[in-house]
Amino acid sequence: MNFLHTADWHLGQTFYQYDRYEEQQFFLNTLLQLLETEAIEVLLISGDVFDTANPSVAATKQFYHFLHQATERFPHLQIIAIAGNHDSPVRLEMPQPLLENTQVHLIGHIKRNEIHEIDYDALILPLYSKGEIVAYCLAVPFLRLGDTPKTDDFSDYGKGIATFYQEITERALAIANGKPLIAMGHLHASGAELSEEDTAERPIIGGMESISPSSFPKALQYIALGHIHKAQALGDTHIRYAGSPIPLSFSEKHYTHQVVTFSIENGQVQGIKPIPLPIHIPLLSIPERALPPEEVLHLLTALPEATSESAAPYLEVKVLLKEPAPELKNSILKTIANKHVRLARIDVRYQQQNKTQQTVLQSELTLNDLQPYEVLQRVYENKYHEPLPDFYKPLFEEAMGLVESEE
């Protein structure tokens, strides 16, 4: 049985002012080709199918059209998609009644029975090959605080996640009768590597709420993770982040974007293989580190002239200032007017002197650069002149979960 693991599609993302439908469709077309060339029987999508809890009509249609194409071209393909923290569990599961006679499973919610116990059986899915069960998939979506089992410390989110995986694995072992177990998850595992400028997902959960890779039960032969956009293995090669298929921020432009394939042979996971993905529209930073305006404008004049032969890269311009420069944007736009780029972002940093007379750079942030919890942190610090206490994190996550559920 051949598997393909992918995650963090973020369909419907607006990259600054640019729609990314064309890039996302390029990836989905590539994915369809890989399903054929790699003879994939199980497609695992580990969360963040959409970029927001209320995706656009175009993004929703794009996902449904992909499901239609995949199931029509590959009738025996099993597709399992779990909700990530960006997804609305309700919206992700919405078409499930229409898919009851298919092999497509969309898992958004943690269900509970009449006595409020977690319904683990609803998340343990048999995987078939030629009519026989070959393995079982533990399809665990993004877990909010109220989704996890009660522990000694109810506010310990990481401990709750670890307990959830322990309990669902114990239940799966009782069902599987020796068959291999494959797990899915959308979470922050400690030790995951990020670039220094990558803050895309870190503020959503935070380090104190992460789970140690060693907390996953040993009985799980492969753990297909989503949430961190940099593709990587965590310690053991079978615990994997597939990463985002396209760069979702300029901090991801040097990531290797990929999917991961593996197979089950004779009851064992084998042949774990990352497959790099082509990038349809590249991201370009000029310069790589902020420089004074006159040097930046000189570098911009060297960019190639506009052409219709290929898609123009997204451009990030990094500028170092000593004081505000009202005409900076106009100067940049004039310089690149006929260049083969599309301006996405001007990253302005101010040169300051600290108490030890060392030069420090202060970034000029916009709301595009911030996540909701980070906004709360900054507002609190500005008002009370001290860091936001840690106990607000689970409360904030719970509140955000209630808002998404109402949507």
How many CA atoms, within 13 angstroms, populate the side-chain half-sphere of residue 62?
A: 23
Residue ranges with strand state E in 67-226: 78-82, 104-107, 124-129, 132-139, 181-186, 220-226
From the CB of residue 44, how many other CB atoms can be counted at a distance below 10 Å? 27
> Do 32 and 173 fall into the same domain?
yes
Looking at the structure, do residues 199 and 111 belong to the same domain, yes or no? yes
Do residue 289 and residue 271 come from a single domain?
Answer: no
pTM reported for the whole predicted model = 0.85
Residue 33: pLDDT band with limits 50, 70, 90: very high
Contact (Cβ atoms closer than 8 angstroms) between residue 317 and residue 287: no
CB of 396 within 8 A of CB of 404?
Answer: no
Look at residues 276, 291, 324 and tell me which one is the last residue of a structural domain.
276
Please tell me whether residues 104 and 76 are part of one structural domain: yes
Displacement of CA 45 from its chain's centroid (Å): 10
Residues 376 and 330 in one domain: no
Within this chain, do residues 241 and 311 fall inside the same structural domain, yes or no?
A: no
First to last CA, the chain: 38
Place 351 in a pLDDT band, splitting at 50, 70 and 90.
confident
In angstroms, the CA 234 to CA 199 distance is: 19
Q: What is the percent of the chain with per-residue pLDDT over 70, rounded to a whole number? A: 87
Q: Could you read off the pLDDT of 111-141 as tens digits, one per residue? A: 998 888 999 999 999 999 988 999 999 999 9
> How far lies 260's CA from each of 228, 245, 249, 368, in Å?
15, 11, 21, 30
378 and 249 belong to one structural domain: no
Residue 205's pLDDT band (cuts 50, 70, 90): very low
271 and 286 assigned to the same domain: no
Over 50: is that where the pLDDT of 203 sits?
Answer: no
Q: Is the same domain home to 168 and 216?
A: yes
Other CB atoms closer than 10 Å to residue 52's CB: what's the count?
18
pLDDT of residue 206: 43
Average pLDDT, the chain: 88
- Looking at the fold, whether 198 and 343 belong to one and the same domain comes out as no
Mean pLDDT across the stretch 318-336? 93
Take residue 406 and report the two structure tokens written for it: 């109402």
Judged by DSSP in three states, 121 sits in helix
Provide the domain count of the chain. Answer: 3
In which domain, by residue range, is 64 found? 2-276
Is pLDDT above 60 for 39?
Answer: yes
Clarify whether residues 75 and 188 are in a common domain: yes
